[in-house]
Chain A
Amino acid sequence: MQSLSQNRTLHRVLILALIVAFMIIASWRFAPAYHSGLSFAHLDPFASDTSSRTNASMDAQIQTLQDQLRSQPDDWQAYSQLGLAYLQKARETGDPTYYQKTEEALDKALSFQSDDYAAISAKGALALARHDFASALEWAEKAKQINPSRTYAYGVIADAQIELGHYAESAQTLQTMVDLRPDMSSYSRISYLRELYGDTDGALELMQLAVDSGTPNAENTAWVRTQLANLYFNMGNLDRAELEYQRTLQDRPNYVYAIAGLGRVHAARGDRSEAIKLLNQAVDIMPMPEFVIILGDLYQATDQQEAARQQYELVETIEKLYRANGVDMDMEIALFNADHDQNLEETVALARKAYANRPSIHGADALAWALYKTGDYQQAQKYSEEALQLGTKDALKLFHAGMIALELGNKVQARQYLEQSLALNPHFSILYPDEARRALETLQP
């Protein structure tokens, strides 16, 4: 009896010891971002420095969690993680059907544990992805109440505030976030806010800092470097933009945002066939609406009407797919329709609805442009002014303002806007730079 009991004690001791070791070391070693408070290395595909394996490992994670839930159907943390895994899949594949799965898993987690910080903030991130910014704000505020010292929720709050046009509040949120923990997440958001406020140098400086703070080969580093490249592109610095896109692709050869960016650089330089090739490559990897639109515009600009029409139809199909999965695309579609003179009357209504949900400078600009297309220049001017209220150096918005002013007969103003637009970036769009130049010619004193 004695030896049996000793044996059992030893067994127990061993297990206990190993569990302790397991917990200590696992959290110690294999959660590289644990100190950011929200990470689960084994679920985070970016924890691996070999990015090519990302998809496989994500699928494996999902499988493991599903198996786990079959044997433990009330494991709320597994549900939380499953939700996050689906959200990540959506990001990697661009397939919005994962949003529904994300939602189901997170709701399940919350049904067991209603105050779980991770699930609640993930609901916020899901709402962001679906462009439901009011609800994203609500979820993230709730997460912040639960734990005001973690930075994750602040990122969601700031993103939502920016999209809702609450710029001063978002500056405060980001100040809190960066004071808590300066890192790539906060630096890149601050860069964006500075960009919106027209502080291009400050935006560049912080996006570079975000890149420099990033982990080599990680997806999020690729993301911020692509943003840095976009900033250079928007300043008309094509060479530097190209360099940063190339650097991104050196680390991650299939990084779709960088491929598309490179395509835009080629288009700007007049090499449209190379641009079409790259955009096709991007769309093949991930048919994001913004890539499909650029591709359609490139076909149109090269007189390939049939190919352009196919891409534009694809936009509508994608939009339906997104909508069916709860993603609000009103603003993007309104702008797309206005640009392509489709369903203009409905488009104004759509843009008004979008603006009501997203009263940001982007929402105001889309509405202004839709109104311009239907000939309501007075109203268009009002919203265009709103779109420029922060002093954003955005060539497209300035072009919109210039064209509206032209129709209203404000020649001096029109010339100023159009000159500014082309000076900022002579390649600001596939469709409009020539139109802007022609308009300017008519305005020469």
Chain B
Amino acid sequence: MRKYFKGVVMSFVVLALMIGLAPASSSAASHREAPLISLDPTADITDFFMFRSYETGQEDKIVLVMDVIPGEEPSSGPNYWNFDPTVLYTFNIDNNKDGNANDIRFEIQFKNEFRGTNADLDLFLSYVALPPITALDGPGSEGLGLRQTYTVTMFNKGKKTVLGRDLIAVPSNVGPRTMPDYESLTAQGIYEVKNGVRVFAGQRDDPFYIDLGAVFDTLNLRAPGTDMLSGFNVHTIALEVPASLLTKDKKSVDDTSQPILGAYAATSRRAVRVLRGDGERDRDDDGDSWVQVQRLANPLVNEAIIGTEDKDRWNALDPTKEKRFVEYYTNPRLATALEAVFGADAAPLLDLRDVLLTYTPGNYQKLSELLRLDISVAPVALASQNPLTVLAGDNAGWPNGRRPIDDVTDVAIRVIGGTNYATAGDAVDANDLPLPEAFPFLSTPWNGRDRIHINP
């Protein structure tokens, strides 16, 4: 019992180690106490998915999804959550297996459109049912006091194509009076843009699932577990792209000779010169330069593999510079932490570098942390997908790309834990809402009025 308790205490210590500490800024009298920490959820990518579409008739398309803003409380009005117009959201793709995801890039940039104060209320509200919001534009859209529009741009080896502009992001799901038919708003928010690409940006249910509450209660486990992220939303950017637009030889999933893609999602903010010369402006319309503030390819890497002290540096660097962090992969601190807690050996089933950092197992000359997808592997229909993916013989899931259904927590535990952990898991095996089998593949977000926090 004592040992068990010690383990629990240690796990908290390890947690603290991994998350790091937060010196808060302080304030006394009159000097300027600017914030020392920027909570930055709008630049915080919670998940990145890439998979071959399993929507009927769309199997020759590749889907790219990033979720941002962790743990959105559905009722957090009146401002609700939005994409960040000061952030550049990108998907970056490597199609020639050189590890450099600079072959194709999609950039998504948002703008806020304040459409004025509602005349009946004489008060600015982001969303109000005067009349109910049934459209993103035109009649029925009057209640959208704040509307976000966005541009999607594709760069192919530097060649720029604006795929779509003035697209409208689907607003947060306020509730049935304000938005009586949210599904219809979602449908309106799916755009077919140039080159056969479809896009969606807007709020979704957070597809991630984990029984965190039981763990925090001193490992007070239960079966079945409760999805701690049930009832929380995220903001999602989803692209559905014909495979031939991504492959190096511009051929389809079946014909291409280079079916392996690598990719990561990133957020960036504007670079700034501290002191400007006379007449110098901060922004040129064409000459913007950006600094990457976060990247995400494989789940776990940023959070559980890279050490807290290196996270800023890691996030800012290009994935091709991964070699300098290789120690984290060859000597995973998860294993170290487990051994420190329990004194038991932890033996990953395989070399993490082979899965996460290279196209050719055993070849560690060039390392680049990308989510890799073999698009020649046929997609599996949603109903037949196995959340345990390759461990259960479903090769169309993580780490071959990643689908929303994939239980990456359990897969990672079993892979990193090794043979002793073949049945380990947290007893939460599915998202709280069923996943749809069509683009954008994530569920309708919880609405602010009806969501209550009584589980399950």
Chain A residues close to B by CB (< 8 Å): 9, 12-41, 43-44, 46-47, 49-50, 68, 71-72, 75, 77-78, 80-81, 84-85, 87-88, 90-91, 94, 96, 99, 102, 117-119, 121-122, 125-126, 128-131, 133, 147, 149-152, 155-156, 159, 162-163, 171, 174-175, 178-190, 192-194, 197, 199, 202, 205-206, 209, 212-218, 220, 223-224, 227, 251, 288-290, 322, 327, 329, 331-332
Contact = CB atoms under 8 A, between A and B. Distances in A.
Interface string B63-91: 00000001101001001111011110000
Interface of B: 4, 7, 9, 11-44, 46, 70-71, 73, 76, 79-82, 84-87, 208, 210-212, 214-216, 219, 221, 228-229, 269-276, 282, 291, 293-294, 299-300, 302-304, 308-313, 315-316, 334, 337-338, 341-342, 344, 346, 409-410, 412-413, 416-417, 420-421, 423-426
A188 B34 contact: yes
Given A30-B70, A36-B312, A80 B21 contact: yes
A90 B7 contact: no
Given A9-B420, A16-B424, A217-B79, A224 B274 contact: no
Given A150-B312, A209-B272, 9 more contacts: A16-B344, A16-B421, A27-B18, A33-B38, A102-B26, A155-B34, A178-B291, A180-B312, A332-B30
A322 B26 CA distance: 14
Given A30-B70, A125-B23, A159 B212 contact: no
Contacts of B82: 216
11 contacts: A15-B342, A17-B424, A17-B425, A26-B15, A36-B312, A122-B23, A133-B31, A147-B309, A179-B271, A185-B35, A332-B30
Interface centre among A12, A35, A90, A156 (most CB of B within 10 A): A35
Contact of A202 (B276, B313, B315): B276
Contacts of B46: 28-29
A185 B40 CA distance: 10
Contact of B275 (A28, A102, A197, A290): A197
Contacts of A155: 25, 34, 36
Contacts, number: 370
B22 A39 contact: yes
A35 B309 CA distance: 10
A249 to B, nearest CB: 13
Contacts of A151: 312
Contacts of B299: 28
A99 B31 CA distance: 16
A214 B41 CA distance: 9
Contacts of B21: 38-40, 43, 77, 80-81, 84, 118-119, 122
A39 B15 CA distance: 12
Contacts of A329: 29
Nearest to B290: A182
B35 A182 contact: no
B244 to A, nearest CB: 34
B39 A44 contact: yes
Contacts of B31: 128, 131, 133, 159, 163
B26 A44 contact: no
B316 A181 contact: yes
B304 A28 contact: yes
Contacts of A212: 84-86
Given A212-B86, A215-B42, A121 B23 contact: yes
Nearest to A202: B276
Contact of B274 (A96, A181, A190, A327): A190
Question: 7 nearest interchain CB pairs?
Answer: A17-B424, A118-B21, A220-B35, A129-B26, A149-B313, A122-B23, A183-B38
